[in-house]
Amino acid sequence: MINLAGAPQGEAVRMDRIALLPIPTNDSWIRDYGPIFLNRIAHGRGAPRQIALDWRFNSWGGKYGACDLDDAVPQRLAEHYGFEVVEAGMVLEGGSLDVNGEGALLTTESCLLNRNRNPSMNREEIEEHLRVYLGIEQILWLGDGIAGDDTDGHVDDLARFAAANTIVTVIEQDPADVNYQPLQDNLSRLRAMRNRRGEPFTIATLPMPAPLYYDGVRLPASYANFYIANGAVLMPSFGCAADAVAQATLAELFPGRCIIAIPSGDLVWGLGAIHCLTQQHPALTRIVR
Give the pLDDT mean for 21-41.
94
Give the pLDDT mean for 161-178.
98
Instruction: Give just the sign of the alpha carbon dihedral 80, 69, 53, 257.
Output: positive
Looking at 14-18, 78-82, 245-249, 259-263, which range is the least confident one?
A: 14-18
pTM of the predicted structure, to 2 decimals: 0.92
Give the pLDDT mean for 81-110.
96
Which residues are annotated as catalytic?
276
What integer pLDDT is reported at residue 54 of this predicted model? 98
Q: How far is CA 98 from CA 13, 29, 127, 128, 130, in A?
A: 29, 16, 14, 17, 12
pLDDT over 50 at 289, yes or no? no
What integer pLDDT is reported at residue 4 of this predicted model? 42
Looking at 63-72, 155-164, 172-181, 280-289, which range is the least confident one?
A: 280-289
Structural domains of the chain, with CATH: 24-40+49-283 (3.75.10.10)
pLDDT over 70 at 73, yes or no? yes
What integer pLDDT is reported at residue 284 of this predicted model? 79
- Per the CB < 8 A criterion, the answer to whether 6 and 230 are in contact is yes
Report pLDDT digits (tens) over 118-167. 999 999 999 999 999 999 999 999 999 999 999 999 999 999 999 999 99
State how far the Cα of 127 lies from the Cα of 69, in Å rounded to an integer.
28
What integer pLDDT is reported at residue 176 of this predicted model? 98
Give the pLDDT mean for 79-98.
96
Give the pLDDT mean for 221-231.
96
State how far the Cα of 40 lies from the Cα of 34, in Å rounded to an integer.
20
Give the pLDDT mean for 51-78.
97
Query: How many CA atoms within 13 Å lie on the side-chain side of 278?
Result: 19
Give the pLDDT mean for 172-191.
98
Give the pLDDT mean for 99-121.
97
What integer pLDDT is reported at residue 49 of this predicted model? 85
- Per the CB < 8 A criterion, the answer to whether 40 and 21 are in contact is no
pLDDT over 60 at 182, yes or no? yes
State how far the Cα of 74 lies from the Cα of 49, in Å rounded to an integer.
17
What integer pLDDT is reported at residue 286 of this predicted model? 53
pLDDT band at 1 (very low <50, low <70, confident <90, very high): very low
Look at residues 233, 162, 153, 245 and name the one whose alpha carbon lies nearest to residue 208: 245
State how far the Cα of 32 lies from the Cα of 11, in Å rounded to an integer.
30
As a whole number, the mean pLDDT across the chain is 93
State how far the Cα of 12 lies from the Cα of 8, in Å rounded to an integer.
9
State how far the Cα of 217 lies from the Cα of 268, in Å rounded to an integer.
12
8: amino acid identity, one letter: P
pLDDT over 70 at 10, yes or no? no
Strands 49-56 and 36-40: antiparallel
Using CB atoms within 10 Å of the CB of residue 69, give its burial: 0 to 12 exposed, 13 to 18 middle, 19+ buried.
Answer: middle
Look at residues 61, 48, 19, 77 and name the one whose alpha carbon lies nearest to residue 69: 77
Q: In sequence order, which residues have a C-beta less than 8 Å from that of residue 119 and are 6 or more positions away?
A: none
Look at residues 118, 170, 105, 175 and name the one whose alpha carbon lies nearest to residue 144: 170
pLDDT over 60 at 3, yes or no? no
pLDDT over 80 at 6, yes or no? no
Give the pLDDT mean for 206-219.
97
**Percentage of residues in the chain having pLDDT higher than 90:** 87
